[in-house]
């Protein structure tokens, strides 16, 4: 009988340690999927100075596991003691892991057992993980995931005429309208027009009344381009010599992702974003990518989601998350301490579904 493979070894890679960062990069490079979200350069973009960027990994001769996490110290919470020991963890913004390839059930069992021991040793109270939309990329989690909002995936591995007919009628109509209006789409691989993108992106968020978490400073995009060359590209729609719609697209080995962007409201009648997305799809197909992730809306079936779904009417996919409590007793204590601290200032009720609760904004307007 074949002996079970062992995790060789269970790794805790800290992006702040050059040798460990390099090993993380090497393991990521060996993974055929090479998702941007698993790259240490990407993860580092989302960490505050007091936080640690780590990868809980397994390294096998022909496979591995990559679980990038941001460790957040509890001690910086205003209701906690400065000497508070311990952390909670969260995957970086976007679609995360644990990503796994060529790892059988026994390897994964050993990995999660080691992961559990690590959370106890490091006093990690809980983990919030946003998961990839492609389940075949993921390790089998030892805890259940839960459905969040729907996202839209546009399959690219079809003939152009099939893809065109699969669009909703209004998309085909709007693409044709943009072409008649002489809207032109240009690929910008180096961020030469970052300034125009940034202004459009910010004005779009302002117009929609977006939550603060969707706002990134210009320096964030400059670092993204610098750290991830070739994995972050812009598409711009020009009308009358001016950029009127713009989108930042993340590029992985098999997939491309609509990340952030927007359109100037006064140019909506030209339908520049419909043509822009159509050209992103055509580009991704020409690059041999399997799918284009358009993302979702603020909630299921809102206008943003329905707009994206028109590019892939059968492409709705469930985005799933994990709310994993490693130390239930301490977790409950932290929620109680937050509530006690808030009681002297306002009526605090954690927003429904927010995890961890002790970090939640209030559901009440006071």
* 162-194 confidence digits (pLDDT tens): 999 999 999 999 999 999 999 999 999 999 999
pTM for the model stands at 0.93
What share of the chain in percent tops pLDDT 90? 87
Given a cut of 50, whether residue 3 has pLDDT beyond it is no
Residue with tokens 């099939």: 162
Given a cut of 50, whether residue 6 has pLDDT beyond it is no
Could you give the angle at the alpha carbon of 115 between the alpha carbons of 15 and 358, nearest 5°?
80
Q: In sequence order, which residues have a C-beta less than 8 Å from that of residue 213 and are 6 or more positions away?
A: none
Per-residue pLDDT, 363: 61
* 268-319 confidence digits (pLDDT tens): 999 999 999 999 999 999 999 999 999 998 777 788 999 999 999 999 999 9
* 336-345 confidence digits (pLDDT tens): 999 999 987 7
Mean pLDDT of 345-355: 83
Strands 87-90 and 255-263 come out as unpaired
CA distance 268 to 272: 7
CA distance 327 to 357: 14
Given a cut of 70, whether residue 327 has pLDDT beyond it is yes
Given a cut of 70, whether residue 4 has pLDDT beyond it is no
Would you state the structure tokens that stand for residue 210, as one six-digit string? 């977006």
Q: Which of 96-100, 101-105, 354-358, 362-366 has the lowest mean pLDDT?
A: 362-366
Given a cut of 70, whether residue 366 has pLDDT beyond it is no
Per-residue pLDDT, 213: 79
Nearest to 75 by CA among 84, 66, 87: 84
Q: Provide the pLDDT confidence category of residue 28 given band limits of 50, 70 and 90.
A: very high
Alpha-carbon distances of 362 from 55, 177, 349, 351, rounded to whole Å: 31, 45, 5, 5
CA distance 10 to 14: 13
Per-residue pLDDT, 364: 53
Per-residue pLDDT, 361: 84
Q: Provide the pLDDT confidence category of residue 353 given band limits of 50, 70 and 90.
A: confident
Given a cut of 50, whether residue 157 has pLDDT beyond it is yes
b/e map 120-158, b = 16+ CB within 10 Å: eebebbbbbbbbbbbeebbbebeeebeeebbbbbbbbee
Instruction: Provide the mean pLDDT of the chain.
Output: 93
Would you state the structure tokens that stand for residue 179, as one six-digit string? 């072409």
Per-residue pLDDT, 210: 80
Per-residue pLDDT, 299: 77
């Amino acid at each position: 009988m074949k002996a079970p493979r062992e995790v060789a070894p269970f790794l805790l890679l800290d992006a702040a340690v050059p040798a460990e960062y390099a090993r993380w990069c090497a393991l990521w490079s060996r993974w055929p999927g090479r998702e941007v979200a698993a790259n240490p350069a990407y993860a580092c973009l989302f960490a505050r100075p007091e936080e640690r960027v780590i990868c809980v990994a397994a390294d096998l001769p022909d496979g591995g596991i990559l679980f990038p996490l941001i460790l957040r110290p509890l001690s910086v919470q205003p209701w906690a003691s400065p000497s508070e020991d311990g952390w909670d963890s969260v995957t970086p913004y976007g679609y995360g892991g644990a990503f796994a390839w060529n790892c059988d059930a026994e390897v994964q069992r050993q990995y999660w057992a080691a992961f559990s021991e690590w959370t106890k040793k490091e006093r990690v109270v809980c983990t919030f993980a946003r998961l990839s939309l492609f389940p075949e990329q993921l390790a089998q989690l030892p805890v259940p995931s839960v459905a969040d909002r729907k996202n839209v995936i546009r399959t690219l591995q079809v003939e152009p005429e099939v893809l065109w007919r699969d669009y909703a009628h209004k998309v085909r109509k709007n693409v044709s309208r943009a072409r008649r209006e002489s809207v032109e789409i240009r690929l910008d691989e180096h961020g030469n027009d970052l300034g125009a993108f940034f202004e459009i992106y910010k004005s779009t968020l302002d117009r929609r009344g977006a939550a603060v978490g969707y706002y990134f400073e210009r320096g964030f995009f400059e670092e993204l381009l610098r750290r991830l060359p070739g994995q972050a590209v812009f598409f711009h729609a020009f009308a009358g010599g001016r950029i009127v719609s713009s989108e930042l697209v993340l590029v992985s080995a098999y997939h491309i992702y609509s990340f952030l962007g927007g359109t100037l409201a006064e140019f909506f009648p030209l339908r520049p974003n419909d043509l822009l997305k159509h050209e992103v799809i055509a580009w991704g197909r020409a690059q041999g990518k399997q799918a284009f992730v358009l993302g979702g809306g603020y909630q299921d079936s809102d206008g943003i989601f329905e707009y994206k779904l028109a590019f892939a009417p059968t492409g709705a996919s469930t985005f799933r998350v994990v709310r994993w409590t490693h130390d239930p007793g301490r977790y409950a204590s932290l929620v109680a301490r937050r509530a006690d601290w808030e009681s002297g200032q306002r009526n605090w009720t954690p927003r429904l579904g927010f995890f961890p609760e002790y970090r939640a904004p209030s559901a009440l307007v006071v």
